[in-house]
Structure 1
């Protein structure tokens, strides 16, 4: 074989390799696109099943209005939280479904569902929605060996999923079992669907919980910074998260879930809770919860 034929042969092999690689990638892409994802109705049916298995009512006690966080590095401007109006809530469960779709909460196998072991970040306790209270003095965060469970300066008890090793210490130390351990590889089992591209699907073996729709707050903060950079807002303006709503609050037909900033006098959360009596589960009353309940008037 002379030099010209050798080069020609090498070129032919290279072209065939490229074609085969493209073909292989295309085939893999086709397979990936055909992986089954559950229909919306399955998520709706699971919420109905979970509501039919609702746990006993919460044991609520009176608490003061949440104030500034007493943790190192806490913001003096922002502390986000929610208040659930028990006088308005009718227990419809739309908040649970909205949270599941917003945060890509996976379904569970039938055997787990039969035992009432769902991944829902919002539960129905009695006839009221219940989720992580984002305690200012969170016992779950104190026992996390990797720092995956941590507190943001703005008052959110957050999860860094890539750090979570699945020790489950946080779940064991939560007095109201607000955290859920992901026992299953939901995408592989066809139990997960990414309704919202802004929220990643979580891996098997991590703890999950309500995030107070952290991604919405992050988006709003970025928009605010962009306006500052463009000169559309005053130089002294501070971001307060005004106008942001969680998915559960947005979906509530009775407007029974209020989201806002406990440290902002202009926040609807502050304005609409001023003359209301606030409550928290007895187990959390001394842990400075950011998510509270209200009923009656002062």
Structure 2
């Protein structure tokens, strides 16, 4: 099975590999917002959004200048990433695009820039996920603010009141609340993940766990798809965070104690990638205290 392999890059070897002319042009460009991303690094060089990485041993770049190969913007970003200490991983070649994706790619390439921009904007108005991905890719949207975190927190507070409140509720209200929680977390997962987002993920897991007793006793509802969706996005958010494994292990230990006797989250095994062996040990040390 192909797995990422750490690659040591330094400025001198990079410049030798790309050539004197391209290297010189890359060094002249202003770079900002460089972060580790998908085994490589992403950032903005001279106003262009770039991802650079090592695929099958070869340095490649994806830039909205549409150069089709490693460009000066990519060189600028990888130089800044190396200086910032980003560790690159050699990734296996990407699988060939599906025929359907290739068909849409070909169609989009036939459109003029203005027509394509208007089409994307039109659909982003009615699609929160597309709108969020667009704004993140454009550098207009970063990690959620405290106010944005508070809005989602209010949704979770209102959901938690359903089984325990005095207002009348039905099982479908719990399912609807569960779907809403999954949607909110999936949208947040498209943005940089901060501590506030992790707090929301843990809170949503706790709320959903409190619903499961009532839902599992009913014969005419199936909560499993929502449990699976919430579990998947919870792992995704933990993996996307920059929190130290030991701190994540502590979070999971607290959450584990708060869940029902049959937690729907596969704790800690589903988090082994981000925790590592030491993090798993730390989790059990704290969970058994």
**TM-score (normalised: structure 1):** 0.22
Structure showing greater radius of gyration is 1
Give the structure with the higher percent helix. 2
**TM-score (normalised: structure 2):** 0.23
- Relative contact order (C-alpha < 8 Å, sep 6+): which is higher? 1
